[in-house]
Amino acid sequence: MKKEVEEKVKEKKKSRASHTFVIALSIVSIIGFFSIMAESLFNFTIDPYIKSLWLLVLGVGLILETSIKELKRIKRAGVSSEMLGKVTMVVVGVIAIVAAILSLPQINIESPTFLAVKGIISILAIILIIVQTWVSQKS
Q: Where in the chain are the domains?
A: 18-138
If we measure between CA atoms, which residue out of 58, 51, 54, 62 comes closest to residue 104?
A: 51
Query: Residue-wise over 93-109: b if at least 16 C-beta within 10 A, else e?
Result: bebbbebbebbbeeeee
pLDDT digits 0-9 by tens, 105-134: 888 777 888 888 878 877 877 777 677 666
Phi, psi (rounded to 5 degrees) for 67: 60, 95
Q: Whole-prediction pTM value?
A: 0.68
Low pLDDT (below 50) residues in the chain: 13-15
The answer to whether the CB of 57 falls within 8 A of the CB of 24 is yes
Q: What is the dihedral of CA 104, 127, 124, 71, to 10 degrees?
A: 100
